[in-house]
Amino acid sequence: MSRGSFRLRCKGRAEEMQEVLSPKGTIFLFGGRQLGKSSLLRQAVEVFQKADPDRHIAVYIDLLKADIGHAEPPEGIWRVLLAELKRRGVIGANVSDRAAGVDVIADAVQQWIEAGPGRRVLVLADEADAFLTADAQAVYTGGGQSTFRTVKRLQRLMETTNRSFKVVFAGLHQVQRFNHLTNVVTAHGGPGILVGPLKPQAAVGLVEEPLAAVGLTFETPDLVWHILGVTNYQANLVQIFCDHLVAYMQQRAMPTSGCHAPITWDDVQAVANLERVRELIAERLRYTINLEDRYRVLTLLVALRSLEHGYAHASRPSELLEAAHEIWQEGFPLNSERQLTIFLDEMVGLGLLIRVPGEERAYAMRSPNVVNMLGTQNELQSELNDTEFDLPYDYNPRAARRSIGSPGGVQRMSPLTEGQFGDMLGHPTRTTLVPCTRALGDDHVERGLRLYGGGYGLDIIGVAPGDSLTDAITANSRRKSSRVLFVDLRGRDADEVREAAERLVKHTGGTPPDSDAAPGASRRYAVVLCSPDAAGEAVETGAGHVLPERWTVDSVRAWPESPFGSPQERRALMDSTGGWPGLVETAMHNVRSGMRQKEVLQGLRERLETPDAATAHLRAAGLTSADVSLLTSWAQFYSDEEYADGKAVMTPGDLAAAFLDKSGDDSLEAAEHLLKRLDGLAVLDPDKHGGVRLDPVTFRALKTIEPAQ
Ligand SMILES: Nc1ncnc2c1ncn2[C@@H]1O[C@H](COP(=O)(O)OP(=O)(O)O)[C@@H](O)[C@H]1O
Ligand SMILES: [Mg+2]
């Protein structure tokens, strides 16, 4: 049986469900990764609509996917709501998408609700962290500053409809920490609801029912409790365990009676000891712990203490602070004990710790299995000593990229960052070149631009490779709205690109900056997609250049909800993917679909080590056959170890000496030229000792194919 073939309905969340559905119930749901928030919301959609199909409308919005709070401002939620409510007939199709302001939308919702008794609209806004973080920022308005503008406006609609309209936001745990947020929340219907590990009865059902559905039963009931202990009552872990248990039982020959023998202690033990199961559980427990490094340090400390002093050993906040400060001073300043107890209480909510009953505040691990899954005493100690811990990541437009959808099921990200799109609109000539190779994601530049432009009300007008630029410019001169000509000149040579850039600069940048200070004045922009080798000469035209980049250990922190959380994990990701967008996207996708990080990265490397894949990569990266034959011989000089040690530095002198005619300035010049080209293709990484080297994927690809003789 394949993994996940018996995904159950959301189990055992009756109280939480009640809170979500009830008009007066909570509007905030919190909980760690994978504890069941999304499952709860999706089930709420069904339950709510089934209760009264004619008068109940439920809308599920994934704010992260819609990029709201990252690329889109928080108000963006209204646009998504408008589209969805139009589709569902709550708002008339005659309301225009562009013109409808927040008040128009809110009024339309109110009118629909008031037009018939019993009408209700429930909005389930999932992955709301970035949205809330962004909305919490003060916005300067005419009358001063305000925070939570969008949340407050939604709440006003809730109040004016007597909560027949209701929004529920779901997010990770730390959202709870906003002070402002607490004010907003307490004014309206109580604190948020925590979605944590399952309660025992529900958890038992989650183990027994799917197994019963395939004809499996347990020899004794305590086996179920054992499974729950191993999985820490976390629904996602229970599922992983049971999927493997089913597979294990079904591998055995079916007895002639046609019934399976009951599951025994030995069977459960055998599954619990499968390396794959242990690693999956350990990795997923770490999702919660890795929500932020302060959780991680505290978990490791409490776990170590329980290994030293017995599992039930309780630690006081002051002791933990002292130890944590020693390990990570920035993360745990000495005067932060109150903050520390907030973290500890959050960890209780996440199902990692328990608060030990008694007068004094003290905390212990929730279960010995969690400790075992984290590692041995030595492993935990060295993790504490050797890890560089990170403070939580803040939004950074220079690294953040928007998601451009999931063609073929794999989530793709824009090849350009938000900051780079900003640069395009900010450039004085308003014409920008984007030199981009296939490996850097040239096929996705236009889509990223369209999504970005959409947020600013810019029309994007595509000029395909075969179209006449003259016609496009003429037609564009007559248009009234602000718009961007997107000109695809991939594969054209440097002369053509320069000539096009010249004409476009004239077309877009003809007006001095002051003349369009008038608000609402329409503007022309142009973006030229071309190959890196053809971009050089266009510099003289004054057009801007925006260079797509590979992901790095640092920039990949901006990947929303990346499962590669720690610096080590991010480094492993970069080492196997080189940060090449397509490979990073595949890795993210595979880990999200349930594979282990190690497997995923190993799989990618093995695939790239076949000659076909290696050749395909080199071609996609923009290397010519001449480059390849030169560089293959170069790469053979270095072993993988030497590369890892930073010995494979490329200097013009070395390159010249190695391949080009051994003497003379010409060869040095040729080497410098080659390095510059490689830099334009983004296949060079800074080396740790200064200098540059090839990125790891390109390096290995060159080593994979035979050097041409
Ligand atoms: N109450 C539940 N009953 C059954 N399965 C659940 C339950 N809660 C979560 N799961 C399973 O656990 C996994 C993670 O749940 P999800 O709702 O995506 O978590 P979150 O949104 O909190 O990250 C999913 O595979 C889901 O099917
Ligand atoms: Mg979720």
Geometric angle at alpha carbon 587, from 582 and 590, rounded to 5°? 120
The amino acid that residue 653 corresponds to is: G
Q: List, for residues 546-564, the tens digit of each pLDDT value.
A: 999 999 998 998 887 788 9
Q: Distance between CA 568 and CA 382 in Å, rounded?
A: 14
pLDDT surpasses 60 at 1: no
Please tell me the predicted confidence (pLDDT) of residue 245: 95
DSSP string, 200-253: HHHHHHHHHHHHHHTT--BSSTHHHHHHHHHHTT-HHHHHHHHHHHHHHHHHSP
pLDDT digits (tens, 9 = 90+) for 313-342: 899 999 999 999 999 998 898 888 888 988
Residues 698, 608 contacting (CB under 8 angstroms): no
What is the b/e burial string over 319-340, where b = at least 16 CB atoms within 10 angstroms of the residue's CB? ebbebbbeebeebbeeebeeeb
Six token digits for residue 482: 């602000």
Residue 10 CA, ligand 1 centroid: distance in Å: 7
296-386 CATH, one of 2.120.10.30, 3.40.50.10800, 1.10.10.10, 1.10.3720.10: 1.10.10.10
Residue 62 alpha carbon to ligand 2 centre in Å: 9
Looking at ligand 1, which residue's alpha carbon is closest to its atom 25? 236
Q: For ligand 1, is residue 288 a contact (CB within 6 Å)?
A: no
The pLDDT of residue 273: 92
Please provide the distance, in angstroms rounded to a whole number, between the alpha carbons at the two ends of the chain: 50
Q: Which 3 state secondary structure label does DSSP give 82?
A: helix
Closest ligand (CA of 291): 1
Ligand 1 centre to CA of 585 (Å) is 23
Q: Measured from the CB, is residue 37 less than 6 Å from ligand 1?
A: yes
Question: Cβ(482) to ligand 1 under 6 A?
Answer: no
| CA–CA distance, 537 with 253 (Å, rounded to integer) | 71
The CATH class of the 407-545 domain is alpha beta
Q: What is the mean pLDDT of residues 664-676?
A: 84
pLDDT digits (tens, 9 = 90+) for 363-412: 999 888 888 888 889 999 999 998 888 877 666 778 888 888 888 889 99
pLDDT at residue 498 is higher than 90: yes
252 Cβ contact list (under 8 Å, min separation 6):
260
Among 8, 13, 30, 34, the mutation site with the greatest number of ligand 1 atoms within 8 A of its Cβ is: 34
Instruction: Name the residue at shortest CA distance from atom 6 of ligand 1.
Output: 235
The better pLDDT of the pair 134, 507 is held by 507
The pLDDT score that the predictor gives to residue 581 is: 98
Cα(586)–Cα(557) distance, integer angstroms: 17
pLDDT for position 338: 84
pLDDT-derived band at 248, boundaries 50, 70, 90: very high
According to the model, what pLDDT value does residue 133 have?
A: 78
Can you tell me the distance from the alpha carbon of 10 to that of 606, in angstroms, rounded to the nearest whole number?
A: 38
Q: How far is the CA of 37 from the centre of ligand 2 (A)?
A: 5
Centroid of ligand 2 to alpha carbon of 500 (angstroms): 46
581 CB neighbour count, 10 Å cutoff = 21
Q: Candidates 30, 228, 236, 291: which one to mutate for ligand 1, based on the most atoms within 8 Å of Cβ?
A: 236
Mean per-residue pLDDT, 480-495: 92
Q: Is the pLDDT of residue 519 over 60?
A: no
Pocket flag, ligand 1, residue 31 (CB < 6 Å): yes
CA–CA distance, 291 with 286 (Å, rounded to integer): 8
What is the Å distance from ligand 2's center to 415 Cα?
25
Is residue 34 in contact with ligand 1, taking CB distance under 6 Å? Answer: yes
Confidence of residue 516 (pLDDT cuts 50, 70, 90): very low
The CA distance from 557 to 329, in Å, is: 22
Cβ count within 10 A of residue 399: 19
CATH superfamily of 14-194: P-loop containing nucleotide triphosphate hydrolases (3.40.50.300)
CA 369/CA 596 separation, integer angstroms: 20
Would you state the torsion angle of the CA atoms of residues 242, 244, 247, 252, taken in this order, to the nearest 10 degrees? Answer: -100
Q: Residue 5: what pLDDT?
A: 34
Is there an atom of ligand 1 within 6 Å of 660 CB? no
The CA 410 to ligand 1 mean position distance, Å, reads 20
pLDDT, residue 336, reads: 85
Phi, psi of 72 (to 5 degrees): -95, 145
Distance 6 CA to ligand 1 centre (A): 13
Q: How far is the CA of 144 from the centre of ligand 1 (A)?
A: 42
For ligand 1, the distance from its centroid to the CA atom of residue 311, given in whole angstroms, is: 28
Cβ–ligand 1 contact at 8 (below 6 Å): yes
Is the distance from CB of 371 to CB of 306 less than 8 angstroms? yes
CA of 40 to the centre of ligand 1 (A): 8
Ligand 1 in reach of 39 Cβ (< 6 A)? yes
Mean predicted confidence (pLDDT) in 466-494: 89
Helix (H) or strand (E) holding 112: helix 102-114
d(CA 55, CA 350): 36
pLDDT at position 350 over 60:
yes
> Could you give the CA distance from residue 497 to residue 536 in angstroms, rounded to a whole number?
9
Mean per-residue pLDDT for 38-42?
A: 94
The answer to whether 88 and 63 have CB atoms below 8 angstroms apart is no
Query: Angle 265-272/222-231 helices, nearest 10 degrees?
Result: 10
Instruction: Of 161, 127, 100, 104, give the one whose Cα is nearest residue 31.
Output: 127
- Average pLDDT over all residues of the chain: 87
Answer yes or no: is the C-beta of 35 below 6 A from any ligand 1 atom.
Answer: yes
List the structure tokens of 236.
């996602």
Q: Whose CA is closest to 425, among 489, 531, 537, 509?
A: 509
Kindly state the average pLDDT of the residues 636-652: 89
CA 614 to chain centre: 27
pLDDT in tens, 261-294: 899 999 999 999 999 999 899 888 888 888 788 9
CA dihedral 183→185→186→188, nearest 10 degrees, is 120
Ligand 1 atom closest to 42 (CA): 17
Q: Which ligand is nearest to the CA of 127?
A: 2
14-194 with 296-386: one CATH topology?
Answer: no
Confidence (pLDDT) at 322: 95
% of the chain with per-residue pLDDT over 90: 52
Which among 39, 193, 204, 291 is the best mutation to test ligand 1's pocket, defined by most ligand atoms within 8 Å of the CB?
A: 39
Q: Where are the domains of the chain?
A: 14-194, 200-284, 296-386, 407-545, 609-709
| Structure confidence by residue, pLDDT tens digits, 403-413 | 888 888 899 99
How many A from CA of 39 to the centre of ligand 2? 7
Q: Specify which of 206-210, 500-504, 566-570 reaches the highest per-range mean pLDDT.
A: 500-504
**Predicted local confidence at residue 139, as pLDDT:** 65
Ligand nearest to the CA of 236: 1
The finding on whether 331 has its CB within 6 A of some atom of ligand 1 is no
- SS3 of 438-477: the string is CCCCHHHHHHHHHHHHHHCCCEEEEECCCCCHHHHHHHHH
Which tokens belong to 633?
């011989």
| pLDDT attached to residue 458 | 84
Predicted confidence (pLDDT) at residue 477 exceeds the cutoff of 90 = no
Which letter does DSSP use for residue 174 in this model?
A: G
Find out whether the beta carbon of 7 lies less than 6 Å from any atom of ligand 1: yes
